Amino acid sequence: MKKILTAVVLLLMLTQVKAQILTPVHWSYAAKKLPNNEAVIFIKATIDQGWHVYSQSVKDGGPVKTTITIKPSKNYSIIGTTTEPTPITRFEKAFSMDVSYFEGSVIFQQKIKLKEGQAIVTGTLEYMTCNDKQCLPPDDIDFSIPVK
């Protein structure tokens, strides 16, 4: 009986720990084929109210910038760099500097050249999110985006 009670208590504790993990950023992915065997992939962050995600262009000494790394493939080549809309830039006391970030949502875009009619674009993204009270540790996410 004591073992069962201990197992139930541990299970409840694990449930509580899981419930306390904050996930204020939700990622989604899409792709659109373009003429001339090109395509653009879309990496969208939907950000909970009160939180923000940093731009790809953050100076050293600040928060961890968003970094999108696309794995090389024989099925496609990368065209240019990943683009983003114009971010909000403000002074943040936590970093004692101006930083650029996004609130609400942001869509990062990357053009690719397909070597065949379709491909699966894979990679990782690293990002950091903060609100006016705290910053969460940087997170790494793997992605896989079919281009058909």
pLDDT in tens, 49-92: 999 999 999 999 999 999 999 999 999 999 999 999 999 999 99
Residues in the chain: 148
Instruction: Return mean pLDDT, the chain.
Output: 89
* pTM to 2 decimal places: 0.85
**Confidence at residue 7, expressed as pLDDT on a 0 to 100 scale:** 41
In the chain, % of residues over pLDDT 70: 86
| CA–CA gap between residue 69 and residue 93 (Å, rounded) | 29
Q: Which uninterrupted H or E stretch holds 106? A: strand 105-114
**Confidence at residue 9, expressed as pLDDT on a 0 to 100 scale:** 42
Stretch 127-142: mean pLDDT:
96
* Assigned superfamily of 24-147: Thiol:disulfide interchange protein DsbD, N-terminal domain (2.60.40.1250)
Q: Which of 15-19, 46-50, 53-57, 136-140 is the least confident region?
A: 15-19
| CA–CA gap between residue 138 and residue 124 (Å, rounded) | 13
| Domain residue ranges of the chain, discontinuous segments joined by + | 24-147
Residue 136 contacts residue 59 (beta carbons within 8 Å)? no
Give the closest residue to 117 by CA, choosing from 15, 62, 53, 39. 39
Stretch 109-138: mean pLDDT:
96
Residue 31 contacts residue 41 (beta carbons within 8 Å)? yes
**Interval 35-50: pLDDT, tens:** 999 999 999 999 999 9
